[in-house]
Amino acid sequence: MSEAESFVPTPLMLSASARARLRALIEEEGNPGLKLRVYVTGGGCSGFQYGFDFADEVAEDDTLVEFGDVALVVDPLSYQYLVGSTVDYEEGLAGARFLVQNPNATTTCGCGASFMV
């Protein structure tokens, strides 16, 4: 009889550019307790879309992922779609934005703001 395999999901990651931008935003707000909330909602061209917001409170069922002096907060419904993802920050001709590089997405829209699993 074979042994059961254990699986430990890869947590969310935060790129160096996202960390730097988050630090700058926290400093601008003057609130060192702020965290970046990442969430998934229905909608967008591909079925789901990513959202970002500041959170200074963490709910009991939220997942808190800390990266030294900055942190991400994810609700339990969104976490299942974001496991293994990297939150990044980019500046370009189209503007500046946080984005999610999600290995679970089977389809994404052209701008990368929505996805399907």
User: Binding site membership for iron-sulfur cluster: which residues?
Assistant: 45, 109, 111
In a domain, 111, yes or no: no
Average pLDDT over residues 100-110: 74
CATH number of the domain encompassing residue 32: 2.60.300.12
Per DSSP, 3 falls in state P
Q: What is the pLDDT of residues 46-98, one digit of tens each?
A: 678 889 999 999 999 999 999 999 999 999 999 998 999 999 999 988 789 99
What is the spatial distance between Cα 56 and Cα 49, in angstroms, rounded to a whole number? Answer: 23
Residue 60 falls within a domain, yes or no? Answer: yes
Strands of the sheet containing 48-55, edge to edge, are 63-67, 70-74, 35-42, 48-55, 114-116, 107-108
Q: How many domains does the chain have?
A: 1
Q: Which domain holds residue 64?
A: 11-99
| DSSP β-bridge partners for residue 53 | 37
In a domain, 46, yes or no: yes
Show binding-site residues: 45, 109, 111
Domain assignment of residue 108, yes or no: no
